[in-house]
Amino acid sequence: MARIKGVSDAEAGLLTRGVYQGAKRMTGEVPDPLRIMAHSKPVMWAAGLFEMASGRAHSVPTRLKALAGIKAAAMIGCVF
């Protein structure tokens, strides 16, 4: 459970709602970390660009990138 409340659909601006729609289309729902990052637009955009660049990088297999992400999250104690 997050320590702070994320930005709801009603509170979100036009661009943030567009980002929410894209995330919902990809995952079926808007992830809580995205709602929390929406409090700071530069952080939300930087994380989105990083995820997009990481997804398009082909020097490392996708399964290995996913495994590295899970391992990193486990090492720092991420609850997501």
Task: With CA atoms as reference, report the closest residue to 6 among 44, 51, 37, 40.
Answer: 37
- Is 40 part of a structural domain of the chain? yes
Q: In this prediction, what percent of the chain has a pLDDT beyond 70?
A: 98
pTM of the predicted model, to two decimals?
A: 0.69
- Examine residue 21 and state whether it is found in any structural domain, yes or no: yes
Residue 1, pLDDT > 70, answer no
Query: Is residue 71 in some structural domain?
Result: yes
Read off the amino acid at residue 42: P
Looking at residue 79, the DSSP 8-state letter turns out to be: -
Q: Is residue 33 part of a domain?
A: yes
Instruction: Kindly state the average pLDDT of the residues 52-67.
Output: 87
Residue 68's alpha-carbon distances to 27, 37, 43, 75, in angstroms, are 20, 22, 22, 10
The radius of gyration of the chain from alpha carbons, rounded to an integer in Å, stands at 14
